[in-house]
Amino acid sequence: DTGVSQNPRHKITKRGQNVTFRCDPISEHNRLYWYRQTLGQGPEFLTYFQNEAQLEKSRLLSDRFSAERPKGSFSTLEIQRTEQGDSAMYLCASSLSGSGYTFGSGTRLTVV
């Protein structure tokens, strides 16, 4: 197993465009988390899934953000009508209940 995989590693987009990121968790992990990290700050929780069910969403996740985890495997995070304030590192993590998080290397989004 190669760990948590995130694609793309870096995305540059124009303001107003939609972007989608993908996360492939460790295969046997049932929980999947999305965090956002801006420069000089710690990661901030966005949302998490247990299997295919989205169990919690942060207030940071505005209506322009949507996350899915079809069939409880990979997950996608979509941002519609991107704004410059969306520029950040988007981190995905997965876990098997009780075993602790493993983070991916993140997708760095730059909105110009």
- Among 19, 104, 109, 111, the residue binding other proteins under the rule CB under 8 A is 104
Q: How many separate helices (H) and strands (E) can be counted in the chain?
A: 0, 11
Distance of CA 29 to the CA centre of its chain: 15
Maximum C-alpha span of the chain: 40
Q: Which residue, 40 or 70, is less far from other proteins as judged by CB? A: 40
Cα separation, 39 vs 32, in Å, equals: 23
Q: Would you count residue 25 as binding other proteins (CB under 8 A)?
A: no
Shortest CB 98 distance to other proteins, Å = 5
Cα separation, 90 vs 104, in Å, equals: 9
Q: Which residue, 7 or 17, is less far from other proteins as judged by CB? A: 7
Which residues make up the interface to other proteins (CB under 8 A)?
Answer: 4, 31, 33, 35, 40-45, 48, 56, 58, 91, 93, 95, 97-106, 108
